[in-house]
Amino acid sequence: MSHKKNNLCINAEKVFDWVIRPVEIERKTFFGPELEDLFEENEAFDDDFCEFLDKNPSLTTECIVLEDCLVAKEIVQAHGRQKVEVTLPSGEEVKLQKVKILISGKVKVLILDGQRCVVESKIVDFCTTETFYLCAPKGTCVHARVIDGECDVELISCNDTAILSIDIAFCLDVHVTDFIKLEIEAAYCKPRNEFPISDIVVCKPEKNPPQCPLIFPGRHTK
């Protein structure tokens, strides 16, 4: 049965541009008073961090990213997004918009003895900005989010000085969207009929497997 087609106007979200960029935060290093202050609320060790590490050589470190604190958003520019002329790899010139993204978050460091946390640091904040050149004309919305993030920490004792380094890297997903109206030719649909599925277990006789009479035991020819 054919369905009568009509011209319909629908509201749909259009993606104007979409990029994913790897981002590395500048390494954060703590030593001396800064390192002691980072762990000052813990009573697991005295102020001498090197002595604490020497007495516990089996300790390991772990860096935790606080997912709920990750923020990635567009920085609103005073005069709007600046138009920039960009030359594509093909040689064609196009006008794009300069978009700035602010990324911020929090991490903390754990010092572990096996699976047991011995010392936990204060919260460490990080923040950075990234600049993109996108197809983002006036009226579009820029959405940004952090994906596939990782945090690495290293705690060493060198020349009677304890040094803690934190490296943070992630992928920044940015896409530009807006809602547009489309006119399409379509037909109204109706709900389908449900399949006749029974909740009752149906018992069927066991079937014998298919035979291979041509090869076993084989036919005898006269």
Residue 103 CA, chain-centre distance (Å), reads: 13
* Residue 142 and residue 100 in contact, taking contact as beta carbons nearer than 8 Å: no
* Cα angle, residue 144 at apex, residues 143 and 150 outer, rounded to 5°: 160
Answer left, alpha or beta for residue 50, where phi above 0 means left and psi between -120 and 50 means alpha.
alpha
Helices and strands, number each (H, E), in the chain: 2, 9
Residue 190 domain flag: no
pLDDT tens, residue order, the chain (222 aa): 566 788 889 999 999 999 999 999 999 999 888 888 888 766 655 557 777 777 777 889 999 999 889 999 999 998 899 999 998 888 889 999 999 999 999 999 998 888 888 888 999 999 999 999 999 999 999 999 998 888 999 988 777 788 899 999 999 999 999 999 999 998 888 887 777 766 666 677 777 777 777 666 765 555
pTM: 0.75
Total domains in the fold of the chain: 1
Instruction: Give the Cα separation of 15 and 175 in Å (integer).
Output: 7
> What is the separation, in whole angstroms, between the first and last Cα of the chain?
59
Give the domain range for residue 140: 6-185
DSSP 203: P
What pLDDT shows up at residue 200? 67
Residue 112 domain flag: yes
Residue 217 domain flag: no
Residue 125 domain flag: yes
Residue 5: partners with Cβ closer than 8 Å, 6 or more residues away: 185, 186, 187
Residue 218 domain flag: no
Residue 147 domain flag: yes
Consecutive H or E run containing 53: helix 49-55
Residue 214 domain flag: no
Residue 60 domain flag: yes
